[in-house]
A and B are shown apart, each in its own frame.
Chain A
């Protein structure tokens, strides 16, 4: 989620969509507005000036030519002035780029019969409208044009409203649409690594709700499958262990030592296989809670147990290191790794160290034959068998698969590496879930 190109995010796309659509809508409305009702384009000032022109023209028509100058002087103010004009060539051409629409509107506003000869601009924000009186006298009206540099207030408000509403809608969209979707994606991602999470709450728009519902139902089905599998295996193991117990006790009553020992070995092997299958199934839906644990004590305990069973193991690592983990599961994983190592190697070293600031690694190293590169990934698969030489060791081939599952539960990794000159190095790396607590003692 975090690594997605920001232009591909729904949030970004919604914001862009909202901004574009409101811009298009506004442009469309503006276009319709100006085509259908051009008068609205004209600010009140011009309307006032048109009214003045009408009054002045009527007055001038009514007065004798001698008194006309007096009237014109009386109407003169900052934004409006009228003057009599001599008829000269060149004075009558339109110089201002006034659209035909505005020109005709302007003409329509004046009393019928008024002859507008030209609308001129001196290029300095001033208009000049030249009209002709009935006796042929030319009158020029000078008017200040509206300051076109400023957006008229309504337009400015509209744009501001558009920006604010786009922003608010974006916030709403992100919260309402995107966050349920993001939560959904996170939950789907997490499912299987920590399946004890509760079902997702169905929220957001219908489609997301639908997807969430579908996910929850799938989650139910998968959990039921896992549970069925676990229950089945528990039942099988119970039903196998009862006859195995009888067999174990019967062997005890045998007199001959040699076959007895071999039979006991086989019984132990069978029991270990059942135990590993149970353990593998249980890692799928581990019920253990994450807790702070002292890792060296866990590693040393397991090393000691192998030592007691006659496999000396060298432990290297800090004396104290607290990490948040699933101690029982981690113990099983480590037991399997060491078990594998002591089967094939004569000397085994277990190393615990902090790797970088965020990881802890546990390495189990043996001096056995190692595993060829081609098989390194395969041996991590459940039920995989290596060549005949290794097969004699027995079990379902689940040990490393269990260790890998445990590593994944800890959001960590399990890698198998070559050790020089020969042997295998199994490295289990898990992130320290609570970095502030974790510190090697010395």
Chain B
């Protein structure tokens, strides 16, 4: 199975114009079991994509010539290779734009290389995990008068007010919405949601579920949306419709 091979030794393309950062990231990823190809701009990236099978692209936003956002949008039109954006702006607007352009995740400079690695693994795991439910992954969904928008990362309660979630909580709720009325084990939920933050790794799914319940359930002690399944897992009960 190719995908299993990708999980064991994924081929990562690092697109970063700063030679030293590029070299150190490559060294770190290689040391941690990845095969790495380095490029410094859009043109050499194109050549690298033609010659090798790439599992994931780590893409800097600020590049000479065509910038990372534009590359990301262009790539998305033709391929589904996962992309993690690197940016120095550390700005929620840039993050939303990056995700709108089709990036799978986002890492702010200066970053902990361990965190980058964890996110690479999480994005790859997501790509091989359960297939998504109905509807395009970017489409907004509704459940019981609530509305969740994966691009704007925006959850609205029935009154239309924005309900604020951490990114891990949001990803978990999104995973629930995409797989409504199916019992999901904790491991499946971890796979489906993990990756946008290191917090998930330190937080068990149970704590995240209890926090989501506090924010969306009428009575968190008697939840109506996210029910606990006795054999170990959760099920999201509302009807989910794409918007």
| Chain A residues within CB distance 8 Å of chain B | 234, 237-238, 241-242, 244-250, 252-253, 267, 271, 275, 278, 287, 291-294, 297-298, 300-301, 304-305, 308, 319-320, 322, 327-328, 331, 437
Contacts and interface: CB of A to CB of B under 8 A. Distances in A.
B199 A293 contact: no
10 contacts: A238-B62, A241-B88, A244-B109, A245-B88, A248-B112, A292-B160, A293-B163, A297-B164, A300-B215, A327-B164
Interface string B193-221: 00000010011000000010011000000
Interface string B1-45: 000000000000000001011001101100000000000000000
A271 B24 contact: no
Given A238-B62, A248-B111, A437 B28 contact: no
B139 to A, nearest CB: 21
B164 A437 contact: no
Contacts of A287: 93
A278 B111 CA distance: 17
A271 B27 CA distance: 23
B80 interface: no
Nearest to A301: B164
A386 B111 CA distance: 30
Contact of A297 (B24, B112, B163): B163
Contacts of B161: 292-294, 322, 437
Contacts of A322: 157, 159, 161
A292 B57 CA distance: 37
B144 interface: no
B180 to A, nearest CB: 21
Nearest to A241: B88
B164 A331 contact: yes
Contact of A308 (B92, B110, B199): B199
B176 to A, nearest CB: 17
B18 A246 contact: yes
A234 B92 CA distance: 14
A333 B28 CA distance: 36
B165 interface: yes
A319 B28 contact: no
For chain B, the bracket of interface size reads: 35 or more
Interface of B: 18, 20-21, 24-25, 27-28, 62, 88-93, 109-113, 157, 159-166, 169, 199, 202-203, 211, 214-215
Contact of B163 (A247, A275, A294, A437): A294
Question: Which of B24, B163, B164 has most chain A Cβ within 10 Å?
Answer: B164
B88 A237 contact: yes
A322 B163 CA distance: 9
Contacts of B18: 242, 245-246
Nearest to A321: B161
Question: Which of B88, B110, B113 has most chain A Cβ within 10 Å?
Answer: B110
A305 B165 CA distance: 10
Contacts of A319: 214
A252 B26 CA distance: 13
A373 B69 CA distance: 49
A297 B165 contact: yes
A301 to B, nearest CB: 5
B237 to A, nearest CB: 21
A322 B164 CA distance: 12
Nearest to B219: A319
A362 to B, nearest CB: 14
Nearest to A325: B162
Contacts of A437: 159, 161
Nearest to B160: A292
Contacts of B28: 249, 252-253
Contact of B110 (A247, A291, A327, A331): A247
Contacts of A249: 20-21, 24-25, 28, 113
A278 B91 contact: yes
Contacts of A246: 18, 20-21, 24
B90 A305 contact: no
Nearest to A287: B93
Contacts of B157: 294, 320, 322
A245 B203 contact: no
**A-B interface, 6 closest residue pairs, ranked by CB to CB distance from nearest:** A249-B24, A241-B88, A245-B110, A322-B161, A292-B161, A248-B110
A253 B25 CA distance: 11
